[in-house]
Structure 1
Amino acid sequence: MRIVFLDRDGVINQEKNYLYKIEDFIFIDGVFDACRQFQELGFKIIIVTNQSGIARGYYNADDFDKLNIWVLAQFKQQGVDILDVFYCPHTPEDDCECRKPKPGMLLSAQKKHNIAMQNSWMIGDKENDISAANKAGIKNTILVRSGHKINEKKSKAQFILNSISQSKTIIL
């Protein structure tokens, strides 16, 4: 199975720290078109997202689940099936294995879904996304400028684009 792994905040939706409310969620232009193209090419889509707001007490797992159910329904209405969502509720200080830049979420997805990592892609908005992908055996990586500020000269991403909408010209 080939996967396009997507970070959430800054890739799927406009970056907003500790986002957990439906009314604050704004999709990035072109995300649905890009995801439909990935599906047409035979890729499945998995979201992998750090959600330290849970451990920090800004919101809880139920708040995340409520938003996640809504997000998945929006994708479904647009003809996009999201295979799975993996999230890390920990802070960087927790030193867990799931928080990107560690590859835990990606490796859990690989084990659960029998994923061919060498034929898969990661689209993120932070170098941590790219590092996690590389550690998990994913070399096909895209860093987008639609989220956090990035240091393009030091990036290990294979491609750097303005947003996920441009990935349709890369993932063919």
Structure 2
Amino acid sequence: MFMKLVILDRDGVINLDSDAYIKSLEEWIPIPSSIDAIARLSKAGWTVAVATNQSGLARGYYDLSTLETMHVRLRELVAEQGGDVGLIVHCPHGPDDGCDCRKPRPGMLLRIAEHYGVDLAGIWFVGDSSGDLEAAQAVDCQPVLVKTGKGERTLAKALPAGTLVFDDLAAVAAHLLQ
């Protein structure tokens, strides 16, 4: 059975990104068209999962309960539009911790695949950074770059072969729902 699954990075794709980290619910500012896009995908039978690096946890900028508050808010906003957010996984480690989950390593994507019992080949992973695209490529996901967040900066670099580029998550959703 084919599951309609799309995996999203969080910061810069679903919400505004900040080089100073998103440290509180107040700083977690959703991109309105992204909330709408997730709800539209969900209502059309897509499962929308999220894989997000959160090294701010390791750095002590915020705690797990604060991160959970942001994800509860994300779920509430999507639910208000009749949609649902699937599994949200995060990497709590810093860049030098040597974990297997921090993108560009594919650990979080593998956890999502295991959770849903799916093969990742061809599954779209939507991100705004080179690390997102490399993680997608490592597990044969379809790398998808959005120009929001760090997307424009990432676009200036070499992209993995076959990377699809869209203006934002709303454009990705429109394409998938065609």
TM-score normalised to structure 1 length: 0.91
| Farther off after superposition, 143-152 or 87-96 | 143-152
1:2 is matched with 4
Moved over 3 A (4+): none
Query: 1:39 and 1:12 mapped to 2: Cα distance?
Result: 14
1:167 aligned to 134, 147, 172, which one? 172
2:154 is matched with 150
Secondary structure of 2:173 counterpart: helix
Secondary structure of 1:86 counterpart: strand
Aligned-residue offset at 1:119: 4.3
Query: 2:156 and 2:167 mapped to 1: Cα distance?
Result: 12
Secondary structure of 1:105 counterpart: helix
Write the mapping of 1:13-162 to structure 2, written as runs, cut at 5 A: 13-16=15-18, 17-138=20-141, 140-148=142-150, 149-152=153-156, 154-156=158-160, 158-162=163-167
Query: 1:36 and 1:69 mapped to 2: Cα distance?
Result: 15
Matched residues, number = 171
**Offset from partner CA, 1:79-132 (integer Å, 9 cap, x none):** 221111000010110010000000000101111111232242111000111111
Secondary structure of 1:87 counterpart: strand
Root mean square deviation of aligned Cα: 1.7
Tell me if structure 1 keeps the 8 A contact 2:40–2:83.
Answer: no
Aligned-residue offset at 1:22: 1.7
Tell me if structure 1 keeps the 8 A contact 2:122–2:140.
Answer: no
**Offset from partner CA, 1:6-33 (integer Å, 9 cap, x none):** 1000000011232132222221141133
Query: 2:158 and 2:16 mapped to 1: Cα distance?
Result: 24
Query: 1:32 and 1:68 mapped to 2: Cα distance?
Result: 12
Higher relative contact order (Cα pairs below 8 Å, separated by 6+ residues): 1
% identical equivalent positions: 33
Tell me if structure 2 keeps the 8 A contact 1:2–1:115.
Answer: no
| Farther off after superposition, 110-119 or 55-64 | 110-119
Query: 1:152 and 1:37 mapped to 2: Cα distance?
Result: 30
Tell me if structure 1 keeps the 8 A contact 2:37–2:170.
Answer: yes
**Offset from partner CA, 1:22-58 (integer Å, 9 cap, x none):** 2222211411332233234432010100000000011
Amino acid at match of 1:162: D
Q: Which runs of 5+ in 1 are unaligned?
A: none
Query: 1:111 and 1:154 mapped to 2: Cα distance?
Result: 30
TM-score normalised to structure 2 length: 0.88
